[in-house]
Amino acid sequence: MNVLYHNDVTLRERVAECLQDDFKHKAIETAQEVFYAKRGALVEEMGEGWQELRLRATEIRNHVTENLDYYVKLFAENAEANGYIMHYAPTDQDALADVIDIFEKHQAQTTVKSKSMMTEEVGLNEVLEEAGYTVVETDCAECILQKAESKPSHIVVPALHFDRDAICDIFTEKCGYEGTSVPEELTHFLRRYLRPEFLNADIGIRGCNFAVAATGSPTLITNEGNGRMVDSVPKVQIIFVGIDRIVPDLQSLDVMEALVPRSAVGSKMTAYFSVDSGPAHADEVDGPVEAHIILMDNGRSRILKTEFEPMFRCMRCGACLNICPVYRHITGHGYGSIYPGPMGVVMTPNLVGYDEIDTMVFACSLCGACSDHCPATIPLHDLIRAHRIEIVDEGKNHSNEVPVFKLLRKMWSDVGFYKFAMSAGGPMMRLFADSSKGALTVNSTWMPVVKGWTSTRDFDVLSKDRFRTWFKNHKPLAAETPVQENQGTEGGDA
């Protein structure tokens, strides 16, 4: 499992590093604002229809989850009937082994890839490269990251942390680029640079946004056309499909497609949406002659019938990142997971367990903006809270927090109190704040909920945009706590 990266340092150190990188979080801030404004305009245009769409998507996805084994089987059987060669991967290791087998069978040398989170999740690139194969990332941002040996800072626009000059330098150094740093010129260079890679690749590897059970069809959303290239040119194709990607029928795609681009980047539609149903037919001259599907679980099914089950509805749109105040400041890299932001805080521990994730589930202010914006109405902040509670129950937290979070659980499980607290949030906290500092200080340790946070650092009032300032100002204080005492979970890290 390659979900986590950069975990040789603590989450606190990563966050501190991200906070110092002014360009990086300025870029994230801009992206959030741009996407937010564009999305807002489209949502407004849809009026009541937007909420209904979200609820329909929720219904559809819940129906699949409630009958998941049936739908996984249905998709698998129909995909096989379409001519796909099916590979079943309960774990990442199974997926990797099967991919290597395909490469060996074809004596492949090079592969072109279009952006796929699942291949990142299993660490496919590293494994293929180690085995001696050349892997070419073809999404513009992924290509930049690959050349720069960097990690995504956003799930939809992963190379935001590089500015045009940095990208120009990377291309100059690694690809023999000789032009200026104008984005148009850089992009058109990539068109010329990657074209031969597509044409010469032995195998194309791609992900799948939604898998249609009734017709056995994987689908692909792309804007740049690299996904279509991977889908059209190489003679052998490998498609990674998660068991959480399934929709019942073609008509369901309409609902998903109406939600995803709007939520992700504030567009009504992406340039391309491909619905594939098998390899090229015998009378066709392009498209893959041989197409494989790797249908993978890799820990996903563990959350079935648990409170985390709603995560099966996630469409990986990134809307929750685009609205998250914590993400805004610590950026994708702060989390140290390929799945960052609210969706990542929920998913990462589900996939890798609590032992590995440092204090990630505390990288959230529980403000709930993510849940309001999620097109699949996933109650993200509730699930993040649920993780915290489980961690306390498992005794993996900072000892101070055991009583706090036990109490928290009681209080939060009282729906009435929870609703009140959420709606009251800011105003309520302001009541308790030391007005001279504008933050909750040690004087508020009597408040059971925040005790344990405020005894080691001040807790910023749930106010607009101050997290970053808060973190910077309080870094010295936080650092006083010896690292070994913080190995479990500890509030206020991010």
Partner 1 sequence: MAVGNKTLQDLLGPISKQMGHTAVAENVELPEWEHVPWRCTDGMNQQQLVDKFIEEAGKIGITIVRTPAADIAKAVAGIIQEGVPEAPASCTVVAANDERFAAAGLYDTVSGLGNVSELTVWDNTKGQANVDAAEKATYGITYAVGGIADTATIVQPSGPNCGRTTSLLPLVHIALVDAATIKPIMQDVMKDIEAQGGQLPSSICFISGPSATADIELVRVQGVHGPMYIYYVLVD
Q: Which of residues 147-166 bind partner 1 (CB under 8 A)?
A: 157-160, 163-164
* Cα end-to-end distance, the chain, whole Å: 24
Beta carbon of residue 475, minimum distance to partner 1 (angstroms, whole number): 29
**Do residues 322 and 35 touch, judged by C-beta distance below 8 A?**
yes
Q: At what angle do helices 48-66 and 68-81 cross, to 10 degrees?
A: 90
Q: Which residues contact 414 (CB under 8 A, 6 or more apart)?
A: none
Query: Residue 161, Cβ neighbours under 10 Å: how many?
Result: 24
Within residues 173-192, the interface with partner 1 by CB under 8 A covers: 183-184, 186-188, 190-191
Q: CB of 96: closest distance to partner 1 in angstroms?
A: 8
Q: Which of 120, 121, 137, 139 binds partner 1 (CB under 8 A)?
A: 139
Which range in 273-281, 340-348, 351-359, 431-439 contacts partner 1 by CB under 8 A? Answer: 273-281
For 207, half-sphere exposure in the C-beta direction (CA atoms, 13 angstrom radius) is 24
Checking 138-141 for CB contacts under 8 A at 24+ apart, the result is: 138/112, 138/113, 138/114, 138/194, 138/197, 138/198, 138/226, 138/229, 138/230, 139/114, 139/115, 139/222, 139/224, 139/226, 139/227, 140/187, 140/190, 140/224, 140/226, 141/115
Helix axes 140-148, 183-200, angle to 10 degrees: 90
Tell me if 204 sits within 8 A of 237, measured CB to CB. yes
Is residue 380 near ligand SF4 by the rule CB under 6 A?
Answer: yes
- Binders of partner 1 among residues 414 to 473 (CB under 8 A) are none
Q: Does 258 bind ligand SF4 (CB under 6 A)?
A: no
Site for ligand SF4 in 328-367 (CB under 6 A): 343
Is residue 89 within the footprint of ligand SF4 (CB under 6 A)? no
When binding is defined by CB under 8 A, the residue of 133, 210, 273, 453 that contacts partner 1 is 273
Angle CA(473)–CA(474)–CA(478) in degrees, nearest 5? 155
Residue among 102 and 361 whose Cβ is closer to ligand SF4: 361
CA separation, residue 344 to residues 95, 350, 381, 403 (Å): 22, 9, 12, 26
Which of the choices partner 1, ligand SF4, none does residue 139 contact, using the CB cut-off of 5 to 8 A by kind?
partner 1
Instruction: Give the total of residues touching partner 1 (CB under 8 A).
Output: 110
Binding residues for ligand SF4, rule CB under 6 A, total: 14
Question: Binding string to ligand SF4 for residues 205 to 244, with x set by CB under 6 A, is what?
Answer: ----------------------------------------
CA atoms of 435 and 421, how far apart (whole Å) = 20
Span 63-102, contacts to partner 1 by CB under 8 A: 63, 67-73, 76, 82, 86-91, 93-94, 96-98, 100-101
**CB neighbours of residue 206 within 10 Å:** 27
Give 267 or 463: the residue with its C-beta nearer to ligand SF4. 267
| CB 238, CB 218: distance < 8 Å | no
Strand 459-460 and strand 439-440: pairing? antiparallel
User: Closest approach of Cβ 453 to ligand SF4, in Å?
Assistant: 26
Residues 236, 244: Cα–Cα separation, whole Å: 24
324 near partner 1, judged by CB under 8 A: no
- Is the Cβ of residue 300 or residue 316 nearer to ligand SF4 in the bound state? 316
Which residue number, 143 or 314, has a Cβ lying nearer to ligand SF4? 314
Question: Smallest distance, Å, CB 192 to partner 1?
Answer: 10
The residues near 234 (Cβ < 8 Å, ≥ 6 apart) are 111, 112, 198, 201, 202, 203, 204, 288
Site for ligand SF4 in 281-320 (CB under 6 A): 314-320
State the nearest-atom distance from the C-beta of 458 to partner 1, in Å: 35
Q: Is 298 near partner 1 (CB under 8 A)?
A: no
263-282 residues in contact with ligand SF4 (CB under 6 A) are 263
Binds 238: which of partner 1, ligand SF4, none (CB < 5-8 Å by kind): none
Instruction: Please identify, using beta-carbon distances, which residue of 56 and 474 lies nearer to partner 1.
Output: 56
Nearest to 293 by CA among 103, 135, 99: 99
Where in 128-170 does DSSP place strands (E)? 134-137
52 binds partner 1 (CB under 8 A): yes
User: How many angstroms separate the CA atoms of 161 and 166, rounded?
Assistant: 9
Q: How far is the CB of 433 from ligand SF4 (least distance, A)?
A: 31
Please choose which of partner 1, ligand SF4, none residue 210 contacts, taking the beta carbon within 5 to 8 angstroms, the exact cut-off set by kind.
Answer: none
**Residue 374 binds to ligand SF4 (criterion: CB under 6 A):** yes
Q: How far is the CB of 15 from ligand SF4 (least distance, A)?
A: 20
Q: Which residues bind ligand SF4 (CB under 6 A)?
A: 263, 314-320, 343, 374-376, 378, 380
